[in-house]
Structure 1
Amino acid sequence: MKKQGTVVRWDSKKAFGFIRCPQISADVFFHLRDYEGPPPTEGLRVMFEDIHVGGKGPRALSVEPARNTIVNAPPAAPPPPAGPELLTSRQAPSRSRSQWQKRRDERPLWIGLGLMVFWLILWLVGIGMGRFPWVILTAVVLLNLITFYMYWRDKEAAVNETQRTPEDWLHGLAVLGGWPGAWFAQQIFRHKTSKQPFRLIYWATVAINILALLAWMVWPMLR
C-alpha cells in the first residue's frame, strides 16, 4: 500500500531528494528514475512505496504526485446541501476517470500475458512439428532465469548506487528469448517501467523474437 508524504529536499543537479512521511521515522530517499510526473519540487505532496536496503535507511519507489492530498485544516461551515442531480454530475466523471485509469494501467499486463501465452504455444507447436528438440525448453527456461536475475541485479545496483548492468545486455537477453523473464522482472521490481526509450526497444525485441520464432516454424511450409 502506498504512503503519502511531502518532498522536503530536492537536488536537481544530482537528481535525488528526500520525502518526509508521518508513518516513517526517517526521511525517505528517492531518485529521479523512481519518480513519475512533472519535475519534483520541495513541498510537493507525493505517494510512494517504501523499501529498506541494509543500513542505508528507507528508500522510495514508484513515486508520483499525490492525487488526493489530505490537509489538516480547522472545520469550516458545512456547504449547502446539493441536489441529487448536482451530486450525480460531480461524482459520475470521477468514477468514470477512475475506471478508465484502472483499465489503462491493466492493459499492458494483459498484453504481456497474452503474448507470453502465444509465445509458449509457438514453442509447443514447433516441438510437436519436430522443428525444435524438447531439450531446448530447458535452455529457454535457463535463459529467462538469467534475464530475471540480471534485472534484479541491476535494480539492486540502482538502489545501492553501484555499477549498473548495461542496457544492451538486457535487450540482448530479451531478443534471444529471455523477454518473458524481463517482463516479470519489470513488473515485480518496478524496474525500467517508466523509461520510454528503453520500453520501446524492449517491445521491439519482443516483436523480433516472436516473428523470428514464427518464421522458423512456417519456413518449411513456404518452401
Structure 2
Amino acid sequence: MKPVLRKGQLTTWKDDKGFGFIRSSDGSQDVFLHITALKETNHRPQVGDVICYQLTVGKDGKIHACNAFIEEFVSKPILIGSSFAIEKETFQPKAKYSLMFEVLLLSLLPALGAMHFALTTFNPIFLILYPVMSFITFALYADDKSRAKQGRWRVSEKRLHLCELMGGWLGGFIAQRRLRHKSRKVSYQVVFWVIVAIHLIFWLDWLFFGRRLVDLFISIVSRG
C-alpha cells in the first residue's frame, strides 16, 4: 500500500484507552487510530479534530492510521518523497510571558492569604503545601502525557483532581498551558476551575469576610 497522505475527521475518541476512529474525507471508511500513531503534537485528540494520516496494515490484518498528525496543531507539513516530516511546534516567547502573567495573577490572592495565615497563626503549612503539591501535580500531568503518547495505562483524572484540590491546582494550570495537556477537555476543565474557585473563595473569606468558611473547614477537619 503506497504511503499516501490522507485527511479525515476524528469521529470517535476513547481518551482513557488512547484510541479512536477517523472518518475519511470522502466518507468511504472509518480508520482505526492509536495514540502512538500521532507524531509531533502536544495536543490531546478530541472528537472533531481534522487528522492527516497514512494507511498501514496492522498485525491483525486490518487497516490502521500511521504517521498521523492533527492538522491545526502543527506547523506546516513538509512532504519528502512518499513520506512527510513535521516542524515541531515550539513554545513561543509571547506565550511564555503570557503564562507568567496568568500564573502571577492567579497566585496573588493565595500567596497573600498563605502569608497572612502563616503570620497570624504561626503555621506555614500553606506556604509549604502549595509549592510541593504544585510540583507533584505538574509531574503527574507530564507522566500522564508521556503515558498517553506511549499507549500505556493513564493517570486517572480523579487522582489529578485530588492533587489539584490539595493545593496543586497552580501546578496543574502551568502543566495545561506548558504541556498542552487536558486543556481542551471541557468536562475536565469544568472540575478544574471549580477547584480553583474553591481555593480563591477560601482565601477571600480568610482575608476579607470574617473567616466563616475557614472556621467551618477547620471544624469539619477536626471532627473527621
Shorter-chain TM-score: what band?
Answer: 0.5 to 0.7
User: Within 5 Å, which residues of 2 pair with 1:13-92?
Assistant: 14-15=19-20, 29-30=37-38, 34-35=44-45, 38-40=48-50, 60=69, 63-64=71-72
| Number of equivalences | 162
SS of 2:121's partner is coil
- Partner of 1:169 in structure 2? 159
Gaps of at least 5 residues in structure 1 are 1-5, 18-27, 44-56, 71-102
Does the aligned pair in 1 maintain the 2:137–2:164 contact within 8 Å? yes
CA 1:59 to 1:151, structure 2 compared with 1: closer, same or farther past 3 Å?
farther
Does the aligned pair in 2 maintain the 1:35–1:64 contact within 8 Å? no
User: Within 5 Å, which residues of 2 pair with 1:124-163?
Assistant: 124-128=115-119, 130-131=120-121, 133-163=123-153
CA 1:214 to 1:66, structure 2 compared with 1: closer, same or farther past 3 Å?
closer
Higher-Rg member (1/2):
1
Structure 2: distance between partners of 1:221 and 1:12: 49
What RMSD over aligned residues (CA atoms) do the two structures have, in Å?
A: 4.3
Does the aligned pair in 1 maintain the 2:137–2:171 contact within 8 Å? yes
Structure 2: distance between partners of 1:118 and 1:213: 7
**What is the CA deviation profile of residues 26-47 of structure 1, one whole-angstrom value per residue up to 9, with x for unaligned ones?**
xx9329963468442668xxxx
Structure 1: distance between partners of 2:211 and 2:49: 54
CA 1:132 to 1:8, structure 2 compared with 1: closer, same or farther past 3 Å?
farther
SS of 2:146's partner is helix
- Partner of 2:179 in structure 1? 189
- Partner of 1:24 in structure 2? none
Q: 2:106 aligns with which of 94, 99, 115?
A: 115
Aligned-residue sequence identity (percent) comes to: 21
Q: Tell me the amino acid that sits aligned with residue 207 of structure 1.
A: A
Larger RCO (CA within 8 A; separation ≥ 6) = 2
1:211 matches 2:221: no
Which segments of structure 1 move beyond 6 Å, counting only runs of 4 or more?
Answer: 65-70, 106-109
TM-score, normalised on structure 1? 0.55
Structure 1: distance between partners of 2:175 and 2:103: 12
Q: Tell me the amino acid that sits aligned with residue 117 of structure 1.
A: L
CA 1:162 to 1:41, structure 2 compared with 1: closer, same or farther past 3 Å?
closer
Give the CA deviation at 1:165. 1.0
CA 1:201 to 1:112, structure 2 compared with 1: closer, same or farther past 3 Å?
farther
Q: Tell me the amino acid that sits aligned with residue 159 of structure 1.
A: K
Which structure has greater strand proportion? 2
Does the aligned pair in 1 maintain the 2:99–2:174 contact within 8 Å? no
- Partner of 1:8 in structure 2? 6
